[in-house]
Chain A
Amino acid sequence: MSTTNGVAHAQKTWREKVGLAEMLKGGVIMDVVTPEQARIAEDAGAVAVMALERVPADIRVQGGVARMSDPDLINGIKAAVSIPVMAKCRIGHFVEAEILQALEVDFIDESEVLTPADVANHVDKHQFTVPFVCGARNLGEALRRCAEGAAMIRTKGEAGTGDVVEAVRHMRTIMAEIRQVQGAREDELYVLAKEHQAPLELIREVHQLGKLPVPNFSAGGIATPADAALMMKLGAETVFVGSGIFKSGDPAKRAKAIVESVLFYEDAKKLAEISAGLGEAMVGINVAAIPDRELLAPRGW
Protein backbone atom coordinates (compact mmCIF):
# COMPACT_ATOMS: atom_id res chain seq x y z
CA MET A 1 0.00 0.00 0.00
CA SER A 2 1.36 3.40 -1.00
CA THR A 3 1.19 5.17 2.33
CA THR A 4 3.67 7.80 3.41
CA ASN A 5 2.83 8.13 7.07
CA GLY A 6 0.66 6.77 9.85
CA VAL A 7 -2.09 9.34 9.38
CA ALA A 8 -2.46 8.62 5.68
CA HIS A 9 -2.55 4.92 6.47
CA ALA A 10 -5.32 5.37 9.04
CA GLN A 11 -7.40 7.50 6.70
CA LYS A 12 -7.09 5.05 3.86
CA THR A 13 -7.91 2.11 6.08
CA TRP A 14 -10.94 4.06 7.31
CA ARG A 15 -12.35 4.45 3.79
CA GLU A 16 -12.11 0.71 3.15
CA LYS A 17 -13.65 -0.11 6.53
CA VAL A 18 -16.68 2.10 6.01
CA GLY A 19 -16.63 1.04 2.35
CA LEU A 20 -17.36 -2.57 3.27
CA ALA A 21 -20.27 -1.41 5.43
CA GLU A 22 -21.55 0.54 2.38
CA MET A 23 -21.41 -2.66 0.30
CA LEU A 24 -23.66 -4.42 2.81
CA LYS A 25 -26.45 -1.83 2.52
CA GLY A 26 -29.91 -2.99 1.59
CA GLY A 27 -29.09 -6.52 2.68
CA VAL A 28 -29.63 -8.99 5.50
CA ILE A 29 -26.88 -10.24 7.82
CA MET A 30 -27.74 -13.59 9.40
CA ASP A 31 -26.53 -15.34 12.58
CA VAL A 32 -25.32 -18.89 11.87
CA VAL A 33 -23.82 -21.55 14.12
CA THR A 34 -22.71 -24.18 11.57
CA PRO A 35 -21.27 -24.23 8.01
CA GLU A 36 -24.58 -25.80 6.84
CA GLN A 37 -26.55 -22.85 8.21
CA ALA A 38 -24.05 -20.48 6.59
CA ARG A 39 -24.70 -22.11 3.21
CA ILE A 40 -28.47 -21.87 3.70
CA ALA A 41 -28.03 -18.17 4.52
CA GLU A 42 -25.85 -17.55 1.46
CA ASP A 43 -28.25 -19.45 -0.81
CA ALA A 44 -31.13 -17.36 0.55
CA GLY A 45 -29.29 -14.15 -0.38
CA ALA A 46 -27.67 -13.01 2.89
CA VAL A 47 -25.04 -10.28 2.32
CA ALA A 48 -22.97 -11.61 5.23
CA VAL A 49 -23.13 -14.12 8.05
CA MET A 50 -22.31 -13.78 11.74
CA ALA A 51 -20.43 -16.89 12.91
CA LEU A 52 -21.52 -17.84 16.43
CA GLU A 53 -21.45 -20.83 18.76
CA ARG A 54 -24.92 -20.07 20.09
CA VAL A 55 -27.58 -17.74 18.74
CA PRO A 56 -28.73 -15.09 21.26
CA ALA A 57 -31.97 -16.98 22.03
CA ASP A 58 -29.90 -19.95 23.26
CA ILE A 59 -27.48 -17.73 25.17
CA ARG A 60 -30.52 -16.41 27.06
CA VAL A 61 -31.84 -19.87 27.88
CA GLN A 62 -28.52 -21.52 28.74
CA GLY A 63 -26.95 -18.57 30.56
CA GLY A 64 -23.30 -18.72 31.63
CA VAL A 65 -20.50 -16.58 30.25
CA ALA A 66 -20.82 -16.04 26.50
CA ARG A 67 -17.44 -15.61 24.79
CA MET A 68 -15.85 -15.37 21.33
CA SER A 69 -16.50 -18.47 19.19
CA ASP A 70 -13.97 -21.26 18.72
CA PRO A 71 -11.61 -20.41 15.81
CA ASP A 72 -12.34 -23.84 14.29
CA LEU A 73 -16.01 -22.95 14.02
CA ILE A 74 -15.21 -19.57 12.45
CA ASN A 75 -12.77 -21.13 9.97
CA GLY A 76 -15.33 -23.80 9.07
CA ILE A 77 -17.91 -21.15 8.29
CA LYS A 78 -15.39 -19.03 6.36
CA ALA A 79 -14.57 -22.05 4.20
CA ALA A 80 -18.25 -22.73 3.51
CA VAL A 81 -19.27 -19.39 1.99
CA SER A 82 -18.02 -16.64 -0.34
CA ILE A 83 -19.86 -13.77 1.38
CA PRO A 84 -18.28 -11.77 4.24
CA VAL A 85 -18.04 -13.55 7.59
CA MET A 86 -18.42 -11.57 10.80
CA ALA A 87 -17.74 -12.70 14.36
CA LYS A 88 -18.37 -11.29 17.82
CA CYS A 89 -15.95 -10.33 20.55
CA ARG A 90 -16.88 -9.32 24.10
CA ILE A 91 -17.15 -5.61 24.86
CA GLY A 92 -13.66 -4.35 25.70
CA HIS A 93 -11.98 -7.72 25.03
CA PHE A 94 -9.31 -6.48 22.63
CA VAL A 95 -7.44 -9.79 22.67
CA GLU A 96 -10.48 -11.64 21.38
CA ALA A 97 -10.62 -8.92 18.72
CA GLU A 98 -6.94 -9.45 17.86
CA ILE A 99 -7.58 -13.17 17.50
CA LEU A 100 -10.57 -12.55 15.24
CA GLN A 101 -8.46 -10.19 13.13
CA ALA A 102 -5.74 -12.85 12.90
CA LEU A 103 -8.42 -15.27 11.68
CA GLU A 104 -9.20 -12.71 8.96
CA VAL A 105 -12.89 -12.35 9.67
CA ASP A 106 -14.33 -9.55 7.54
CA PHE A 107 -16.05 -7.61 10.34
CA ILE A 108 -15.93 -7.77 14.15
CA ASP A 109 -19.08 -7.14 16.18
CA GLU A 110 -18.11 -5.84 19.62
CA SER A 111 -21.34 -7.14 21.02
CA GLU A 112 -23.49 -6.80 24.12
CA VAL A 113 -24.87 -10.27 23.30
CA LEU A 114 -21.65 -11.71 24.73
CA THR A 115 -20.75 -11.16 28.38
CA PRO A 116 -18.83 -7.84 28.68
CA ALA A 117 -15.12 -8.14 29.55
CA ASP A 118 -14.66 -4.50 30.61
CA VAL A 119 -17.16 -2.37 32.49
CA ALA A 120 -15.63 0.95 31.39
CA ASN A 121 -13.69 0.69 28.13
CA HIS A 122 -14.66 -0.52 24.71
CA VAL A 123 -12.02 -1.80 22.28
CA ASP A 124 -9.86 0.95 20.69
CA LYS A 125 -11.00 0.03 17.21
CA HIS A 126 -8.64 2.47 15.45
CA GLN A 127 -5.81 0.05 16.25
CA PHE A 128 -7.25 -2.61 13.93
CA THR A 129 -7.31 -3.05 10.16
CA VAL A 130 -10.50 -5.10 10.33
CA PRO A 131 -13.68 -2.98 10.57
CA PHE A 132 -15.94 -3.08 13.66
CA VAL A 133 -19.67 -2.80 14.17
CA CYS A 134 -21.03 -1.78 17.58
CA GLY A 135 -24.50 -1.58 19.08
CA ALA A 136 -26.16 1.63 20.23
CA ARG A 137 -29.43 2.71 21.82
CA ASN A 138 -29.15 6.44 21.25
CA LEU A 139 -27.15 9.02 19.32
CA GLY A 140 -24.59 9.63 22.06
CA GLU A 141 -23.76 5.94 22.38
CA ALA A 142 -23.51 5.63 18.57
CA LEU A 143 -21.11 8.59 18.33
CA ARG A 144 -18.95 7.37 21.23
CA ARG A 145 -18.53 4.10 19.35
CA CYS A 146 -17.70 6.03 16.14
CA ALA A 147 -15.08 8.01 18.09
CA GLU A 148 -13.50 4.70 19.12
CA GLY A 149 -13.38 3.68 15.45
CA ALA A 150 -16.57 1.74 14.73
CA ALA A 151 -17.18 1.63 10.94
CA MET A 152 -20.81 0.65 11.32
CA ILE A 153 -23.48 1.11 14.00
CA ARG A 154 -26.38 -1.19 14.64
CA THR A 155 -29.25 -0.32 16.90
CA LYS A 156 -29.17 -2.89 19.68
CA GLY A 157 -32.77 -3.93 20.05
CA GLU A 158 -33.07 -6.81 22.49
CA ALA A 159 -31.30 -9.82 20.98
CA GLY A 160 -32.72 -13.32 21.17
CA THR A 161 -36.30 -12.28 21.88
CA GLY A 162 -38.00 -12.14 18.49
CA ASP A 163 -39.68 -9.02 19.91
CA VAL A 164 -39.04 -5.98 17.69
CA VAL A 165 -40.13 -3.40 20.26
CA GLU A 166 -36.64 -2.44 21.47
CA ALA A 167 -35.21 -2.28 17.94
CA VAL A 168 -37.97 0.20 17.13
CA ARG A 169 -37.35 2.19 20.31
CA HIS A 170 -33.62 2.48 19.60
CA MET A 171 -34.00 3.35 15.92
CA ARG A 172 -36.67 5.97 16.62
CA THR A 173 -34.52 7.46 19.37
CA ILE A 174 -31.42 7.72 17.18
CA MET A 175 -33.31 9.13 14.20
CA ALA A 176 -35.15 11.69 16.36
CA GLU A 177 -31.91 12.79 18.00
CA ILE A 178 -30.26 13.10 14.58
CA ARG A 179 -33.09 15.35 13.41
CA GLN A 180 -32.71 17.46 16.54
CA VAL A 181 -28.97 17.92 15.96
CA GLN A 182 -29.49 18.57 12.26
CA GLY A 183 -32.05 21.27 12.99
CA ALA A 184 -30.08 22.97 15.74
CA ARG A 185 -28.31 26.31 15.38
CA GLU A 186 -24.52 26.17 15.06
CA ASP A 187 -24.13 27.83 18.46
CA GLU A 188 -26.24 25.12 20.10
CA LEU A 189 -23.99 22.24 19.03
CA TYR A 190 -21.67 22.66 22.04
CA VAL A 191 -24.46 21.96 24.49
CA LEU A 192 -25.77 19.12 22.34
CA ALA A 193 -22.31 17.53 22.44
CA LYS A 194 -22.40 17.80 26.22
CA GLU A 195 -25.94 16.41 26.48
CA HIS A 196 -25.24 13.47 24.20
CA GLN A 197 -21.80 12.95 25.78
CA ALA A 198 -20.35 12.79 22.28
CA PRO A 199 -17.34 14.48 20.63
CA LEU A 200 -18.16 17.92 19.24
CA GLU A 201 -16.64 17.11 15.82
CA LEU A 202 -18.99 14.16 15.39
CA ILE A 203 -22.00 16.21 16.53
CA ARG A 204 -20.98 18.76 13.86
CA GLU A 205 -20.80 15.97 11.27
CA VAL A 206 -24.31 14.77 12.14
CA HIS A 207 -25.49 18.41 11.98
CA GLN A 208 -24.12 18.70 8.44
CA LEU A 209 -25.01 15.22 7.11
CA GLY A 210 -28.34 14.65 8.82
CA LYS A 211 -27.20 11.08 9.44
CA LEU A 212 -24.60 9.13 11.38
CA PRO A 213 -21.02 9.39 10.08
CA VAL A 214 -21.14 5.63 9.30
CA PRO A 215 -23.88 3.29 8.02
CA ASN A 216 -26.67 2.59 10.52
CA PHE A 217 -28.06 -0.95 10.57
CA SER A 218 -30.69 -2.52 12.79
CA ALA A 219 -30.61 -5.60 15.03
CA GLY A 220 -32.20 -7.29 17.99
CA GLY A 221 -35.63 -8.90 17.74
CA ILE A 222 -36.34 -8.99 14.00
CA ALA A 223 -38.29 -12.19 13.23
CA THR A 224 -40.52 -11.56 10.19
CA PRO A 225 -40.35 -9.86 6.78
CA ALA A 226 -42.70 -7.20 8.18
CA ASP A 227 -40.28 -6.55 11.07
CA ALA A 228 -37.40 -6.13 8.62
CA ALA A 229 -39.43 -3.77 6.41
CA LEU A 230 -40.50 -1.78 9.47
CA MET A 231 -36.89 -1.21 10.48
CA MET A 232 -35.97 -0.16 6.92
CA LYS A 233 -38.86 2.34 6.91
CA LEU A 234 -37.69 3.75 10.24
CA GLY A 235 -34.24 4.43 8.78
CA ALA A 236 -32.20 1.20 8.97
CA GLU A 237 -29.86 0.72 6.02
CA THR A 238 -29.59 -3.06 6.48
CA VAL A 239 -30.89 -5.54 9.05
CA PHE A 240 -29.26 -8.19 11.20
CA VAL A 241 -31.42 -11.23 11.88
CA GLY A 242 -30.14 -13.38 14.69
CA SER A 243 -32.29 -16.06 16.22
CA GLY A 244 -35.26 -15.14 14.01
CA ILE A 245 -34.25 -17.37 11.11
CA PHE A 246 -32.80 -20.56 12.49
CA LYS A 247 -35.25 -20.65 15.42
CA SER A 248 -38.18 -20.64 12.99
CA GLY A 249 -40.06 -23.55 11.40
CA ASP A 250 -38.60 -23.20 7.88
CA PRO A 251 -35.29 -21.27 8.02
CA ALA A 252 -34.48 -21.36 4.27
CA LYS A 253 -37.87 -20.00 3.29
CA ARG A 254 -37.93 -17.36 6.03
CA ALA A 255 -34.37 -16.25 5.24
CA LYS A 256 -35.28 -15.79 1.58
CA ALA A 257 -38.44 -13.88 2.49
CA ILE A 258 -36.61 -11.50 4.83
CA VAL A 259 -34.02 -10.77 2.09
CA GLU A 260 -36.86 -9.94 -0.29
CA SER A 261 -38.63 -7.78 2.27
CA VAL A 262 -35.58 -5.53 2.62
CA LEU A 263 -35.57 -4.96 -1.15
CA PHE A 264 -39.32 -4.24 -1.34
CA TYR A 265 -39.85 -2.61 2.05
CA GLU A 266 -41.84 0.21 0.49
CA ASP A 267 -44.21 -2.06 -1.45
CA ALA A 268 -46.96 -3.46 0.82
CA LYS A 269 -48.42 -5.62 -1.95
CA LYS A 270 -45.11 -7.38 -2.50
CA LEU A 271 -44.64 -7.69 1.28
CA ALA A 272 -48.02 -9.44 1.48
CA GLU A 273 -46.87 -12.02 -1.07
CA ILE A 274 -43.48 -12.38 0.60
CA SER A 275 -45.00 -12.89 4.08
CA ALA A 276 -47.36 -15.70 3.04
CA GLY A 277 -46.82 -19.36 3.94
CA LEU A 278 -43.55 -19.06 5.83
CA GLY A 279 -44.40 -21.56 8.56
CA GLU A 280 -43.90 -20.83 12.22
CA ALA A 281 -41.94 -17.78 13.32
CA MET A 282 -39.68 -18.12 16.36
CA VAL A 283 -41.79 -18.31 19.49
CA GLY A 284 -40.05 -15.37 21.12
CA ILE A 285 -40.20 -13.69 24.50
CA ASN A 286 -41.96 -10.42 25.28
CA VAL A 287 -39.25 -7.98 26.27
CA ALA A 288 -41.61 -6.56 28.90
CA ALA A 289 -41.57 -9.96 30.66
CA ILE A 290 -37.76 -10.06 31.01
CA PRO A 291 -36.30 -8.95 34.37
CA ASP A 292 -34.06 -5.88 34.03
CA ARG A 293 -30.90 -7.73 35.05
CA GLU A 294 -31.36 -10.17 32.14
CA LEU A 295 -31.60 -7.47 29.48
CA LEU A 296 -28.67 -7.34 27.05
CA ALA A 297 -29.10 -3.86 25.58
CA PRO A 298 -27.96 -1.92 28.69
CA ARG A 299 -24.52 -3.56 28.39
CA GLY A 300 -22.05 -1.07 26.91
CA TRP A 301 -21.99 2.61 27.78
Chain B
Amino acid sequence: MAPVADVVGVLAVQGDFEKHLVAFRRCGVPDDRLRLVKTTEHLAGVDRLVLPGGESTTVGLLLQRFGLGPALIEFAQEGKPMWGTCMGMIMMAARVEDRKQYSLGVLDVTVRRNAFGAQVHSFEVDVPFKPLDETVTGVFIRAPIVVESGPAVEVLSEYEGKVVAVRQGNLVGTSFHPELTDDTSLHRWFLGL
Protein backbone atom coordinates (compact mmCIF):
# COMPACT_ATOMS: atom_id res chain seq x y z
CA MET B 1 0.00 0.00 0.00
CA ALA B 2 1.15 3.51 -0.82
CA PRO B 3 2.48 5.81 1.89
CA VAL B 4 -0.40 7.62 3.57
CA ALA B 5 0.99 10.95 2.40
CA ASP B 6 0.44 10.09 -1.28
CA VAL B 7 -2.06 12.28 -3.11
CA VAL B 8 -4.15 10.27 -5.56
CA GLY B 9 -5.60 12.15 -8.51
CA VAL B 10 -8.37 11.16 -10.91
CA LEU B 11 -8.59 12.96 -14.24
CA ALA B 12 -12.06 14.56 -14.19
CA VAL B 13 -12.36 16.07 -17.65
CA GLN B 14 -15.20 13.69 -18.58
CA GLY B 15 -16.25 10.13 -17.76
CA ASP B 16 -16.74 7.86 -14.74
CA PHE B 17 -14.18 9.58 -12.52
CA GLU B 18 -16.55 9.54 -9.50
CA LYS B 19 -16.50 5.73 -9.54
CA HIS B 20 -12.70 5.73 -9.11
CA LEU B 21 -13.00 8.16 -6.20
CA VAL B 22 -15.44 5.79 -4.53
CA ALA B 23 -13.06 2.85 -5.10
CA PHE B 24 -10.09 4.70 -3.60
CA ARG B 25 -12.18 5.77 -0.59
CA ARG B 26 -13.05 2.12 -0.07
CA CYS B 27 -9.30 1.37 -0.15
CA GLY B 28 -8.94 3.74 2.79
CA VAL B 29 -7.53 6.78 0.99
CA PRO B 30 -8.81 9.76 3.00
CA ASP B 31 -10.73 12.52 1.18
CA ASP B 32 -7.99 15.08 1.74
CA ARG B 33 -5.63 12.83 -0.24
CA LEU B 34 -7.97 12.55 -3.23
CA ARG B 35 -8.00 15.11 -6.05
CA LEU B 36 -10.23 15.56 -9.07
CA VAL B 37 -7.97 16.89 -11.82
CA LYS B 38 -9.56 19.19 -14.41
CA THR B 39 -6.75 21.70 -14.95
CA THR B 40 -2.95 21.88 -14.83
CA GLU B 41 -3.19 23.59 -11.42
CA HIS B 42 -5.10 20.64 -9.98
CA LEU B 43 -2.27 18.30 -11.02
CA ALA B 44 0.29 20.04 -8.79
CA GLY B 45 1.07 17.85 -5.78
CA VAL B 46 -0.58 14.73 -7.20
CA ASP B 47 1.62 11.63 -6.75
CA ARG B 48 -0.34 9.03 -8.72
CA LEU B 49 -3.09 9.49 -11.25
CA VAL B 50 -5.95 7.54 -12.80
CA LEU B 51 -7.38 8.29 -16.23
CA PRO B 52 -10.96 6.95 -16.03
CA GLY B 53 -13.41 5.58 -18.58
CA GLY B 54 -15.18 8.00 -20.89
CA GLU B 55 -15.07 9.11 -24.51
CA SER B 56 -11.53 9.40 -25.83
CA THR B 57 -12.35 11.88 -28.61
CA THR B 58 -14.03 14.24 -26.11
CA VAL B 59 -11.27 14.02 -23.53
CA GLY B 60 -8.52 14.28 -26.15
CA LEU B 61 -10.01 17.48 -27.56
CA LEU B 62 -10.38 19.04 -24.11
CA LEU B 63 -6.83 18.08 -23.06
CA GLN B 64 -5.54 19.80 -26.19
CA ARG B 65 -7.71 22.89 -25.82
CA PHE B 66 -6.87 23.59 -22.21
CA GLY B 67 -3.21 22.59 -22.11
CA LEU B 68 -3.49 19.75 -19.60
CA GLY B 69 -2.04 17.26 -22.13
CA PRO B 70 1.63 18.33 -21.88
CA ALA B 71 1.40 18.37 -18.07
CA LEU B 72 0.11 14.78 -18.08
CA ILE B 73 2.91 13.69 -20.43
CA GLU B 74 5.45 15.24 -18.06
CA PHE B 75 3.76 13.52 -15.10
CA ALA B 76 4.14 10.12 -16.79
CA GLN B 77 7.71 10.78 -17.89
CA GLU B 78 8.69 11.62 -14.32
CA GLY B 79 7.88 8.00 -13.52
CA LYS B 80 4.85 8.75 -11.36
CA PRO B 81 2.28 5.94 -11.43
CA MET B 82 -0.50 6.45 -13.98
CA TRP B 83 -3.34 4.03 -14.72
CA GLY B 84 -5.80 4.31 -17.56
CA THR B 85 -9.04 2.31 -17.63
CA CYS B 86 -10.60 1.87 -21.09
CA MET B 87 -10.67 5.47 -22.43
CA GLY B 88 -7.74 6.21 -20.10
CA MET B 89 -5.66 3.51 -21.77
CA ILE B 90 -6.53 4.90 -25.21
CA MET B 91 -5.48 8.35 -23.98
CA MET B 92 -2.10 7.03 -22.77
CA ALA B 93 -1.39 5.04 -25.95
CA ALA B 94 1.24 6.02 -28.47
CA ARG B 95 -0.97 4.93 -31.39
CA VAL B 96 -4.69 4.52 -32.07
CA GLU B 97 -5.36 2.05 -34.89
CA ASP B 98 -6.86 3.48 -38.11
CA ARG B 99 -7.54 6.87 -36.59
CA LYS B 100 -5.97 10.23 -36.23
CA GLN B 101 -6.87 11.35 -32.76
CA TYR B 102 -5.08 13.02 -29.91
CA SER B 103 -3.45 10.86 -27.26
CA LEU B 104 -0.64 11.45 -24.76
CA GLY B 105 1.58 8.84 -26.40
CA VAL B 106 3.31 7.80 -23.17
CA LEU B 107 2.50 4.08 -23.36
CA ASP B 108 4.26 2.29 -26.23
CA VAL B 109 1.22 0.44 -27.56
CA THR B 110 -1.24 0.54 -30.44
CA VAL B 111 -4.86 0.31 -29.30
CA ARG B 112 -7.93 -0.68 -31.27
CA ARG B 113 -11.02 1.23 -30.17
CA ASN B 114 -14.39 -0.54 -29.78
CA ALA B 115 -12.57 -3.80 -30.45
CA PHE B 116 -15.59 -5.92 -29.48
CA GLY B 117 -18.16 -3.78 -31.32
CA ALA B 118 -21.17 -1.70 -30.28
CA GLN B 119 -22.75 -1.58 -26.81
CA VAL B 120 -24.87 -4.73 -27.35
CA HIS B 121 -21.57 -6.64 -27.44
CA SER B 122 -20.36 -5.25 -24.13
CA PHE B 123 -19.80 -8.02 -21.59
CA GLU B 124 -18.48 -9.04 -18.24
CA VAL B 125 -16.05 -11.88 -17.62
CA ASP B 126 -13.45 -12.95 -15.06
CA VAL B 127 -9.94 -12.37 -16.38
CA PRO B 128 -6.53 -13.25 -14.98
CA PHE B 129 -4.38 -10.35 -13.81
CA LYS B 130 -0.72 -11.36 -13.63
CA PRO B 131 0.39 -9.34 -10.58
CA LEU B 132 -2.46 -10.78 -8.49
CA ASP B 133 -3.03 -14.44 -7.64
CA GLU B 134 -6.75 -14.25 -8.27
CA THR B 135 -8.77 -13.36 -11.33
CA VAL B 136 -10.56 -10.02 -11.44
CA THR B 137 -13.98 -9.18 -12.86
CA GLY B 138 -13.55 -7.46 -16.19
CA VAL B 139 -16.41 -5.17 -17.19
CA PHE B 140 -15.85 -4.46 -20.89
CA ILE B 141 -17.90 -1.55 -22.27
CA ARG B 142 -17.28 -0.71 -25.92
CA ALA B 143 -13.79 -1.70 -24.87
CA PRO B 144 -10.45 -1.21 -26.61
CA ILE B 145 -7.67 -3.82 -26.81
CA VAL B 146 -3.91 -3.59 -27.28
CA VAL B 147 -3.01 -4.90 -30.73
CA GLU B 148 0.70 -4.16 -30.70
CA SER B 149 3.21 -3.19 -28.04
CA GLY B 150 6.85 -2.16 -27.72
CA PRO B 151 9.64 -4.11 -25.95
CA ALA B 152 9.26 -2.23 -22.65
CA VAL B 153 5.62 -3.26 -22.34
CA GLU B 154 4.59 -6.24 -20.20
CA VAL B 155 1.27 -7.98 -20.86
CA LEU B 156 -0.69 -8.31 -17.60
CA SER B 157 -3.88 -9.86 -18.89
CA GLU B 158 -5.28 -11.58 -21.95
CA TYR B 159 -8.83 -12.58 -22.79
CA GLU B 160 -9.42 -14.98 -25.70
CA GLY B 161 -5.94 -14.19 -27.02
CA LYS B 162 -6.53 -10.44 -26.88
CA VAL B 163 -4.34 -8.21 -24.73
CA VAL B 164 -6.56 -6.39 -22.22
CA ALA B 165 -4.06 -5.12 -19.63
CA VAL B 166 -0.47 -3.88 -19.95
CA ARG B 167 2.26 -2.28 -17.90
CA GLN B 168 5.29 -0.22 -18.87
CA GLY B 169 7.23 0.84 -15.75
CA ASN B 170 4.73 2.71 -13.62
CA LEU B 171 2.26 3.15 -16.47
CA VAL B 172 -0.69 0.75 -16.50
CA GLY B 173 -3.52 0.32 -18.96
CA THR B 174 -6.62 -1.89 -18.66
CA SER B 175 -9.35 -2.39 -21.28
CA PHE B 176 -11.89 -3.02 -18.53
CA HIS B 177 -13.40 -1.10 -15.61
CA PRO B 178 -12.54 -2.37 -12.09
CA GLU B 179 -14.14 0.85 -10.77
CA LEU B 180 -17.58 -0.46 -11.77
CA THR B 181 -17.26 -3.53 -9.55
CA ASP B 182 -17.14 -3.94 -5.76
CA ASP B 183 -13.67 -5.49 -6.01
CA THR B 184 -10.95 -2.96 -5.11
CA SER B 185 -7.99 -5.32 -5.58
CA LEU B 186 -6.67 -3.52 -8.68
CA HIS B 187 -7.00 -0.13 -6.98
CA ARG B 188 -5.07 -1.49 -3.97
CA TRP B 189 -2.41 -2.92 -6.29
CA PHE B 190 -2.10 0.44 -8.08
CA LEU B 191 -1.65 2.25 -4.76
CA GLY B 192 1.31 -0.05 -4.07
CA LEU B 193 3.19 0.71 -7.32
Q: Which residues of A contact B (CB under 8 A)?
A: 1-2, 12, 15-16, 19-20, 22-27, 42-48, 78, 82-84, 101, 104-107, 129-131, 259-260, 262-264
Residues in chain A near residue B119, CB distance under 8 A? 16, 20, 84, 104-107, 130-131
Choose among A1, A23, A105 the residue that contacts B118 (Cβ–Cβ < 8 A). Answer: A105
Of the listed residues B53, B55, B119, B123, the one surrounded by the most CB atoms of chain A closer than 10 A to its CB is: B119
Q: Are A47 and B120 in contact (CB under 8 A)?
A: no
**Contact flags B89-123 to A (C-beta < 8 A → 1, else 0):** 00000000001000000000000011001111111
Q: Are A23 and B57 in contact (CB under 8 A)?
A: no
Of the listed residues B12, B15, B87, B125, the one surrounded by the most CB atoms of chain A closer than 10 A to its CB is: B15
Taking the closest CB of chain B, its distance from the CB of A115, in whole angstroms, is 26
Residues in chain A near residue B181, CB distance under 8 A? 15
Is B163 at the interface (CB under 8 A from chain A)? no
Residues in chain B near residue A129, CB distance under 8 A? 120
Residues in chain B near residue A24, CB distance under 8 A? 54-55
Q: Are B124 and A1 in contact (CB under 8 A)?
A: yes
A16 CA / B139 CA spacing, docked (Å): 7
Q: Are B122 and A23 in contact (CB under 8 A)?
A: no
Q: Are B141 and A83 in contact (CB under 8 A)?
A: no
Residues in chain A near residue B141, CB distance under 8 A? 16, 19-20, 23
Taking the closest CB of chain B, its distance from the CB of A103, in whole angstroms, is 9
Residues in chain A near residue B139, CB distance under 8 A? 15-16, 19
Residues in B39-90 with C-beta less than 8 Å from chain A: 53-55, 57-58, 61-62, 65, 86-87
Residues in chain B near residue A105, CB distance under 8 A? 118-119
Choose among B55, B122, B123 the residue that contacts A83 (Cβ–Cβ < 8 A). Answer: B55
Residues in chain B near residue A46, CB distance under 8 A? 58
Q: Are B15 and A25 in contact (CB under 8 A)?
A: yes
Is B14 at the interface (CB under 8 A from chain A)? yes
What is the count of residue pairs linking A and B with beta-carbon distances less than 8 angstroms? 113
Taking the closest CB of chain A, its distance from the CB of B85, in whole angstroms, is 10
Choose among B57, B120, B180 the residue that contacts A19 (Cβ–Cβ < 8 A). Answer: B180
Residue of A nearest to B125 (CB): A2
A207 CA / B86 CA spacing, docked (Å): 32
Q: Are A27 and B58 in contact (CB under 8 A)?
A: yes
A259 CA / B180 CA spacing, docked (Å): 25
Is B18 at the interface (CB under 8 A from chain A)? yes
A25 CA / B59 CA spacing, docked (Å): 12
Q: Are A15 and B55 in contact (CB under 8 A)?
A: no
Residues in B121-135 with C-beta less than 8 Å from chain A: 121-126
Taking the closest CB of chain A, its distance from the CB of B64, in whole angstroms, is 10
A2 CA / B99 CA spacing, docked (Å): 32
Is B33 at the interface (CB under 8 A from chain A)? no
Residues in chain A near residue B57, CB distance under 8 A? 42, 45, 82-83
Given known pairs A45-B62, A263-B62, the reply for A23 and B54 (CB within 8 Å) is: yes
Choose among A1, A82, A84, A263 the residue that contacts B125 (Cβ–Cβ < 8 A). Answer: A1
A129 CA / B118 CA spacing, docked (Å): 11
Q: Are A1 and B123 in contact (CB under 8 A)?
A: yes
Residues in chain A near residue B17, CB distance under 8 A? 25-26
A260 CA / B57 CA spacing, docked (Å): 14
Q: Are B124 and A47 in contact (CB under 8 A)?
A: no
Taking the closest CB of chain B, its distance from the CB of A84, in whole angstroms, is 7
A46 CA / B59 CA spacing, docked (Å): 10
Residues in chain A near residue B53, CB distance under 8 A? 19, 22-23
Q: Are A47 and B16 in contact (CB under 8 A)?
A: no
Taking the closest CB of chain B, its distance from the CB of A250, in whole angstroms, is 17
Residues in chain A near residue B113, CB distance under 8 A? 82
A78 CA / B114 CA spacing, docked (Å): 13
Taking the closest CB of chain A, its distance from the CB of B22, in whole angstroms, is 11
**Contact flags B162-177 to A (C-beta < 8 A → 1, else 0):** 0000000000000001
Given known pairs A12-B124, A26-B14, A263-B13, the reply for A47 and B118 (CB within 8 Å) is: no
Taking the closest CB of chain A, its distance from the CB of B119, in whole angstroms, is 4
Residues in chain A near residue B188, CB distance under 8 A? none
